[in-house]
Structures are given as C-alpha cells and as structure tokens.
Structure 1
Amino acid sequence: MTATPLEKSSERTEAAGSADSLDEYADAEVNFQPRSLKFWTIIIGMYLALFLVALDRLIIATPLAAITNEFGSIEDIGWYGSAYMLTNASFTLIFGRIYKLYSTKWVFLICIGIFEIGSALCGAAPSSTAFILGRAIAGTGAAGVWAGATMLMIPLIPLRKRPVFISMLGMIFAVSSVLGPLVGGSLTDSVSWRWCFYINLPIGSVAILAILIFFRVEPPKCEQMSLPAQLKQLDPLGFAFFAPSMISLILALQWGGSPAFPWSAPRIIGLLVTSVVLFGIFILIQIYTPDTAMAPMRVVLNRSIAGSMFFMFLLSGGMMSIAYYLSVWFQAAQGQSATQAGIRSLPLVLGLTVMGIVFAVVTQKVGYYVPGMLVSPVMASVGAGLLSTINPASGPGAWIGYQSLYGLGIGAGFQTSMLPAQNVLSRADVPMGMSLMFFAQQLGGAIFLSVGQNVFANQLVDDLSGFAGLNPEVIVNTGATDLGKVFLPGEMDVVVGAYSYALTRVFLMSAILSAVKLLGALAVEWKSITKAKGGASAVEEAEAGIGTSEGTSQDAGQESGEKSKV
C-alpha cells in the first residue's frame, strides 16, 4: 500500500529522532493568518471571555457592603467569594478531560454561556441564597473558560508563534486584579452593585458571537462513542473524590484563623483532614485508572509539567497576595481612596506587561522558554523583598520602583511557564496539561491569600497586644479605610504604623515564594519550541503541500480530536 503524505512525514520525523508527529499541529500552520480580520476577531473574543472571568474573582470585593445591606446577610459574606472559588477549583481538572473528548469550540461556548447565566442570576438575585447560587454557577463556567483559552490557540497559532499571544494572558490576569475592585466600586457608587454582574452580559455576548461565527470545527471522532463510554472517559470516580477534597480545603482556608473558627477549631481540623484523605484517594484512582484519569501520572510526573506547576503555584500565590494587599496598604498606610490605590498599583501591571512582551519576543526568537523562568524568581524576589521595606512615609520613588521590579519579574515567568505543557506533551494530552497549570494557578492564589491574611493578622496582634487601650482583634476586623472611625487621632500613628508593618510581612512572604519557585524552573527541560510541533520543518512541509491537503487535515484532526479552519 502506498504511504500517504502524512505517513511519510511521520516517518521522516521519527527518523530524525522526534517522538512527536509534526503533522499533529499541521492545522495551526494553515490556520495562522495574522492579517485576517477573522483571526483577530476570534483572538479578541477569547481575550474578552478571559478578562470577564478573571475580573469576577475580585470585583466582588468592593460591593460586599452594599450587597449585605440590601439582603441583610452579613452572615453569608464569606460565601459570596467562596462559592465562586469552590466550583472554579472543583471543575478545573475535569474540563481537561472534557476538552480532550469534545469540540473545543462548543465546550468553550457552553462555558461562557454558563458563566453568563451565573452572572445574570447574581445581578437579578432576589435573595442572598440566589446570589450565592449565581456565584457558584459563574465559577463553574469560569473554570471551563480558563481551561479552554489556550485550547482555542492550539489549532490557530503554531507553538513557535504562541509566546506573544500567551503573554497577553498574564496581562489580563494582572489588569483584572487591579481593575476588579475599581470597577466594582465605580459601578456600585454610580449605578448599582447589580451592574457589577450585568456588565458581563453584553461583553460576554460579543465573545460568544466572535467564536460562534468565525471559529469553525468539525465534530471530533470521540463524540460517536456511546454515552456510557463517554461518561467513563470523564473519570466520574476521580471527580467524586476530587471535588469534595477541594471544597473542604477552600472552606478551611476561608474560615480558618477567624475569631469564630481559629485554626485549632475541630471544624477546621476536620475539613483539612477530610481534604487530605479525599485527595489521597483521588491520587490512588489516578494511578490505577491511567486511561481515564483527569490527572494521569504520565502527565503530572513529567519533569517539565511538575516543575511548571510548582512554579505557577508559587508565582500565582505571591502575585495575588501582593496585588490584593498592596491595594490595602495604599488605603491603610497612606490614606488613599480605593480608586487612588488602584491607580498607584498600575506600575506592577505595566512592569508585568512590558516584561511579558519582551520575554515573549525573546522566547519566540531563541526558541527556549526556560530563560524567562530563571530570570523571574530573581527579579520578583528582589522586588517583593524591597516592597517589604516600605512604610507610611515612603515616597513614590520607592513604591513605584519596587512594584515595577516585581512586575517585571512576574512578567518574565508567567507566560513562559504556560508553554512547557504545550511543548512536551502530545496534542491529545495538552488539554489535561493546561488544566493542571490553571489548577495550580487557582490553588496557589486561594491558598496564599488565606496564608497572607493570617500572616497579616498575627503580626498585627503581636505588635499591638501590649499597647494600652487598644484591642488588636478590633483592628483585624476593621476595614482599611475605617480605622479613623474606631480609634482616636492620638492613637492613629501607632495603629497605622503597625498596620503597615503587618501588611509588608505579606510582601516578605511573597518574596520567599518568588525565590523558591526557582526550584520549579530548574526542573523544566530545555526543549526548543522551533524544532518540534509546528516548527521550521512543519513550515517547510506546509509550503511544499504536505499536511495542507484536505485528506491530511482530516487525518490530523482525527488524531487530535478536532480540526479547525479560520
């Protein structure tokens, strides 16, 4: 039998010593059309969807008072943030299996739709219970949007061209962290807190239309499987243990350390033990059912994937802590409004954006992503360490320069740490690899925001416990802008000084996290993005007509589970 062009290409690749078929990504060579309006419509639609789900993590912070006042639900305030995080963390990994089995286009659109339904329910909520339900639904959709964003890029953009596009993900993550409280406060003050969620509907609709009209895919072969076979492939047993494990962990982190539930409380200990036991059972399931596992060990234990996950876990934890508590520092230590605090946090975003683009170009030129992951810990740890030295009297030269340096460090490593999963794994395993990366990102932020809160609270109590007439517990539970309402003018210098120092201990924690993530970078394999999976050889073959015919595209699409054309 005469070999097809695809088979000949595969044989040449194997002869060259590559374990991966170049034709596995031949569709990206055909579909990469940066001068096409359709191409950019899809990319911008994807970025809009990502911006909305990233914004929704922190937009809830500012309108909390207005929401609780309307519903009379101060006892539910913890659930308003937790409901979103619980479903987001619980569903992130299973979306890796879903994207592997089904059409990227339709799964992504359904996830945006779920997010929009949750947002609409939040905006129209008649009660606190309905609002919490809306947040949980939105978090479920957000998990799918995060996991699917990179999957949309794979059939559109060759790996060697992808760093610049992925660098935008870091900028979206950082900008949303700063703009979330600002947008929430502006909408709450000028219109209504409900518009913090209604605003998602028109923007999300634009994203849906862009992808629905212009991103074209054929139904993947796996959709022909029987329903029981499809359900088995989704690892229902693993999910049954993973989801409650994440719920228990996040509830423990949300409640633990509060006056009502100290870390030694039986409820907190029980939640932590439950989380560990259930997660242990989940790991055993993944080991003994590798063919249907959400997190197969062949992926998790790959040195580049494990190193990148560790790197992203610490990067996200440190960045979220600084993005959140730096805004609090500006308000508490320097008496700035929420709007001014957001403006003064822009150097971090600008540093992240500039360095993200710089290292995206460098990575694209040299073909290796590890250098960015090595530079990131150095710059970020120094920048965060310097931020830990600021005080209420610090001038713009200090807080602008220090956070800019930290932002440069984050920018060097954020997008580069997303590339190993797309380079060292087969295309069939990329959805699970990317889900693991986003899971590490979400988990790092959730854990270290809670750790940061305890670092701040414990330091504040230690500093003020011996000061006559002051109750440290009252300060811990007082908002950053309300200190003047609780304490006399003569007490404010001491309180603000202690408040500032306690917040900078969180920055010191971020410096330590930034330094330790170097270990993850050192574990990542040096593998070029230009010599495999859509590199120069694939370009030459595409130009020669190999991998661009309808038959070849069909074969490549069946191998990966889908074929897209722009």
Structure 2
Amino acid sequence: MDQVIADHQKRPSSVTADKEPQLQLASQGEQEPQSSASSENADDIVPTTKLQFLVIFVALILAIFCVALDNTIIVTAIPRITDDYNTLNDVGWYGSAFNLPAAAFIPFFGKIYAIRSTKITFLAALFIFEVGSLISAVAPDSIAFIVGRAVSGAGSAGIFNGALVTITMISPLEKRPAYQSVIGGTYAIATITAPLIGGAFTDLVSWRWCFYINLPIGGLAAVMLIMVLHLPSPPRPKQTWLQTLWSLDPFGQVLFLPSIICILIALQWAGTTYAWSNARIIVLIVIFAILFVAFIINELRMGSKATIPPGVACKRTVAATSCFAFFNYAQFFIFVYFIPIYFQAIKGVDAKQSGIDTIPLIVANNVGSLLSGILTTTFGTYIQYFYGCSILTSIGGGLITTWQVDSSSSKWIGYQVISGFGTGLALALPQVVVQPDLSPQEIPIGISMTIFFQFFGGALFVSIGNNILNSKLVSYVNAIGIPDFDVGNVLQAGATEFRRTVPVEYLPQVLTAYNAALRLVFRAGLAMACFSVLGALPLKWRSMKPSKKPMGEISEGNNEVFDTAA
C-alpha cells in the first residue's frame, strides 16, 4: 500500500487539459464517444502531499470500520441486552433498525454528495452516526435502543458513500481500484470480527461498550478530516430555499424511503412472524408496489434533477455493475450470516468460536479484494475479475451446499477460501468501473447506486435466507415426530442453545434436519452467485490506465480496449 500511495504522489499536480491522458474506448474497431469523466484532467484531482493523503485515507478507514462494526457487533451481545431490558419481543428490531435506514438512505446521500460539499456532508453523516451510537450506549430501555440503532443506520448510509466519493476527488482514476479495495476489505474484516469484539466487550466490560467504542474512533476520524481534508465545493447557483429543497428531489425521497423499508419489513416478517397470507404482509407489499411505481414515475418526470437520474441509471456500465453488485453481495451476505449459524448449530461451538471458524472466508475475501485492486491499478483491465468472481463464488457456493453434520475441517476451510476469494475479486470494483462513463457531478450518484444495490441485495437475501431457514427447519423437525415437543422452542432458543430443548435421543435427527434447512439457504446463495454473471456480461473490456495518446489518435490495431458486449 505504501508503494501505491507513493505512485499516487508521482503524478503531476497540474497538467493542461490538452495534454492529459485519456481513457481509450473502442467498440468493434469503432471509436466510442469520449465520456465526460474520461476527460478528467489533473485540475479535477485535489492535490495532496503523501502525508495528507495517508491521514485522509486512514480517517476514512476508521469511519468505515465503525460502520461495519455496528452492523454485526450486537450478534454476541443480544442475550445480555435482552436480559437488561427484560424483553425478547424486540430482538428482531435490534439488527433491522440499523439495516433498514442504512439501505434506504444511500440514494439520498448520493444526491447530496452530487450537489453539496463532500467534506461537510461526510462529517454530517459521521455526526449522525455518532449520535445514534451514543443513544444506543446510554439507552435506558429497548425502544430508546432501537431509536439509536435507526439513527446510526441513517448516518452510516452517508459514510460509505462519502468515503468512496472522497477517494475519487483526491486520487486519479487508475489508482482508485487499489484504494477502494482496501476500503472494501476493511468493511469485510470488521463485519466478520465484530461479533468477536462484541463478545469480548460484553464479557469483560459491558455490552454498552459495543457502541461507546464508536465515539473515540469516529471522533478521531472527524478531527483528522477537519484538519487535513480540503475539498472544493460544487458550483452552487444562487437559489431560494425552496429551489434548494426542490433540487434534493423531496418527492422522490418521500416515495423511495418508505417503499424500501416496507419491502424489507415484509420479507423479514413473512413466513416467520406472520404467514405470507397475513393482512400485514399483504398491505406492506401493496404499499411498496404503489410507492415504488410512483417513485419511478417521479424520477422520469424529474429527469437530470432526480435522486436517481434516468440518464445515469440507464447507462450500460451503471446498470450492469449495479446488477452484479446486487447478486454478488446477496450471495456474500448469505454466507457471511449463515455460515456462523452452521458452526454454532451443527458443530456446537459458541458465537466467538464460530467467528474464528469464519476467518478463512474473510481472509480469502480480503486477499482477493486487494489482489484485484492492485492488479487493476497496475495493468488497468478489470473485467476478468468480474468473471472470476462469478466462477469461483459459484464453485465455492456449490461446495458449501454439500456440508454435512460431520463435514471435516478441510472441507469447511477450503470451501470458504474458494467462495471468499471469489467474492473479493470484484467486491470493490463496481464503484470504480462506473466512474469513466460519468461526469464528475454524476459520479456520486453512480457510486450510490452500486452501493445501494449491494446493501439492498444483502439485506434482502438475509431476510429471504432467514425465512427459508425458519420455515424449513419447522417443517423438517415436525416430520421427525418428536412426542410432546414444540418445534417453536428450537427457533426461540437460537443456534447455540436449541440443543438443550431437544430430547437427547432425537438430537442427531434434529441436527440433520437443521443442516438440511441450512443447505437450502446455501443453495439460495449459490443461485445468486450464478446469476451474478448477468451483470458481468454487458461490461466493456477497457483499461483504467490512461493512454499517452489523446482521443482521435488511437493507432490502427490497438486492442488495449474493446467491447465484449457490443
């Protein structure tokens, strides 16, 4: 990474526009129109010293680390939290209260980053996140705790967005894959290790430190950015406050936010808390459909001023990478969330040990992410990593679906490595690949689209996976025919405690049933891995590295860049 940062410093701080290298684009031998972002000259990149860049980068990583921690840190703390609040009814909301606004507010922050100061917007999002963490840490009851989680989730939506947008403003295009792969790897590491950290805090100090810890880390990141980060604000025409409000597409926001929340709640409740035929589920789905259709109509009417401008959403690269991001994160989240359940429920380990047993997945993921980022920065091309991701995650996911109650460690380690490495190959690339086709003002929106589809795919399929697990587990355990046994006890006891509720003589059969239900969940992850290739096929084969010749002077037979989907 030091070498990458050093390379970043070797570029000139200012170059005249007519001498700036341009990205080469060609389609079946024909020259494509020059994209607005590819004409980016050195004046578009905010010059920084090596030390300034390092400080900014570390601050962004600290902020991302906090957000990723908050996503899963409560997994091992929930039993102690429910003891303190004397309630089990709200457990499902402890995670959802964070994830729902985290997904729903991503396009909102993308719009703000496109028209307002990146630095101020990022610091505001970080402040909101910190306030939510403080509320959760001091919450006297379950309701206050849920409110704090929701506030943190809303702030987190702007932090991940803002970190990637900031990178685009302080580094040249060809260097961004390496930097953004580090950010993506940081998120993945924190997501996996958070339960271990949460368990340590819960056992050694208090579960409230799962949230107190965000205050000094986030505060340090804020101070570093305030002191070192200096970014130009986008052009701001003189506007009345009504015109400013209108530029944020308020109707689009009002329609989009509740529509996404409705569908995620419906999928979380359906088949578990309520039957699919329950009026609550039907109403939520109907409200989602009405609001989402109205949102699309509003976006078409707003045009370039929309939260998600049709001109951006319909660009082939943006649509393709968003599709790929959706499926790739869907399969990744399924395995990240349900592989620990396999270790806890089937192998009989505690939450901490299950986190340790998933280290092969996360280490391989980060190796793949860093490798693809560095190689893309070095050689320029990237499409091979999208195909490699689809192939390896499909192979790894298929192998994981074969896990049995007595599967050996060589199988659960090796299969995680294949799946994790494959996921990492393209984990952070969608946010980079969209940039050459977008203008500087459109880049935050394009990035926010890919991030939204990543986290929406993850949140959606974690809910679907949970639905599959619970419904099939009930069905399979009931089929065993255990006398005077309520299968609901298995669900309520959780993955680590359900063994105590099952008669000893029936435990092997219940474990087999539990494993069969988990394998169906893993098959859903396998399906998503296979579908991810649909997002890779339309991508153009091109180099992220600038050519030394300006557009219009591409020599005959130059195959550095060509279109595989034309």
> So what's the TM-score if we normalise by structure 1?
0.89
1:16 to partner: Cα distance: 10
- Tell me, in whole angstroms, the C-alpha distance in 1 between the residues paired with 2:305 and 2:37: 23
- Tell me, in whole angstroms, the C-alpha distance in 1 between the residues paired with 2:321 and 2:304: 23
Are 1:435 and 2:433 matched, yes or no?
no
Which of 530, 535, 539 is the matching residue for 1:520? 535
CA separation of 1:12 and 1:61: change in aligned 2, threshold 3 A: closer
CA separation of 1:271 and 1:463: change in aligned 2, threshold 3 A: same
Are 1:391 and 2:404 matched, yes or no?
yes
CA separation of 1:22 and 1:246: change in aligned 2, threshold 3 A: closer
CA separation of 1:141 and 1:13: change in aligned 2, threshold 3 A: closer
Are 1:279 and 2:292 matched, yes or no?
yes
1:149-228 matches, within 5 Å, as 149-222=163-236, 224-228=238-242
Q: When you count helix as a share of all residues, which structure comes out higher? A: 1
Q: Which residue of 2 aligns with 1:93?
A: 107
User: Secondary structure of the residue that 1:210 maps to in structure 2?
Assistant: helix
- Tell me, in whole angstroms, the C-alpha distance in 2 between the residues paired with 1:483 and 1:299: 49
- The 10-residue stretch of structure 1 (83-92 or 107-116) with the greater mean CA deviation from structure 2: 83-92
- The 10-residue stretch of structure 1 (162-171 or 37-46) with the greater mean CA deviation from structure 2: 162-171
CA separation of 1:536 and 1:188: change in aligned 2, threshold 3 A: farther
Are 1:376 and 2:392 matched, yes or no?
no
- Tell me, in whole angstroms, the C-alpha distance in 2 between the residues paired with 1:322 and 1:13: 37
1:23 to partner: Cα distance: 5.7
Which 5+ residue runs of structure 1 have no aligned equivalent?
A: 539-566
Are 1:450 and 2:463 matched, yes or no?
yes
2:22·2:38 contact (CA, 8 Å) conserved in 1? no
Q: Which residue of 2 aligns with 1:561?
A: none
Are 1:31 and 2:44 matched, yes or no?
no
User: Secondary structure of the residue that 1:216 maps to in structure 2?
Assistant: coil
1:107-118 matches, within 5 Å, as 107-118=121-132
Are 1:324 and 2:340 matched, yes or no?
no
- Tell me, in whole angstroms, the C-alpha distance in 2 between the residues paired with 1:205 and 1:304: 37
> What letter corresponds to residue 476 of structure 1 in structure 2?
L
1:256·1:263 contact (CA, 8 Å) conserved in 2? yes
2:38·2:436 contact (CA, 8 Å) conserved in 1? no
- Deviation track 1:224-260 (CA, whole Å, cap 9, x = no partner) reads 53322211110001111111101211211222221x4
User: Secondary structure of the residue that 2:89 maps to in structure 1?
Assistant: helix
Are 1:307 and 2:339 matched, yes or no?
no
Aligned residues: 529
1:305·1:524 contact (CA, 8 Å) conserved in 2? no
Are 1:338 and 2:326 matched, yes or no?
no
> So what's the TM-score if we normalise by structure 2?
0.89
- Deviation track 1:462-500 (CA, whole Å, cap 9, x = no partner) reads 322222224433323331111221012212111112112
1:35-50 matches, within 5 Å, as 36-50=50-64
1:9 to partner: Cα distance: 5.8
> What letter corresponds to residue 305 of structure 1 in structure 2?
V
- Tell me, in whole angstroms, the C-alpha distance in 2 between the residues paired with 1:127 and 1:30: 46
1:178 to partner: Cα distance: 1.2
> What letter corresponds to residue 345 of structure 2 in structure 1?
A
User: Secondary structure of the residue that 1:423 maps to in structure 2?
Assistant: helix
1:27·1:155 contact (CA, 8 Å) conserved in 2? no
Which 5+ residue runs of structure 2 have no aligned equivalent?
A: 1-14, 25-30, 551-566
- Deviation track 1:492-522 (CA, whole Å, cap 9, x = no partner) reads 1111121122112211211111011101111
> What letter corresponds to residue 371 of structure 1 in structure 2?
Q
Q: Which residue of 2 aligns with 1:546?
A: none
- Tell me, in whole angstroms, the C-alpha distance in 2 between the residues paired with 1:243 and 1:108: 20
Which of 82, 88, 102 is the matching residue for 2:96? 82
CA separation of 1:296 and 1:21: change in aligned 2, threshold 3 A: closer
- Tell me, in whole angstroms, the C-alpha distance in 1 between the residues paired with 2:549 and 2:129: 40
1:97-136 matches, within 5 Å, as 97-136=111-150
Are 1:501 and 2:516 matched, yes or no?
yes
1:125 to partner: Cα distance: 1.0
1:120 to partner: Cα distance: 0.5
1:360 to partner: Cα distance: 1.5
1:211-290 matches, within 5 Å, as 211-222=225-236, 224-258=238-272, 260-290=273-303
1:318·1:513 contact (CA, 8 Å) conserved in 2? yes
> What letter corresponds to residue 31 of structure 1 in structure 2?
P
Q: Which residue of 2 aligns with 1:548?
A: none
Deviant stretches of 4+, over 4 Å: 5-17, 535-538
CA separation of 1:112 and 1:445: change in aligned 2, threshold 3 A: same
1:106 to partner: Cα distance: 1.0
- Deviation track 1:187-240 (CA, whole Å, cap 9, x = no partner) reads 111111111100000110111111111111234321753322211110001111
Q: Percent identity?
A: 34
1:319 to partner: Cα distance: 0.7
Which of 307, 325, 349 is the matching residue for 2:362? 349
- The 10-residue stretch of structure 1 (249-258 or 453-462) with the greater mean CA deviation from structure 2: 453-462
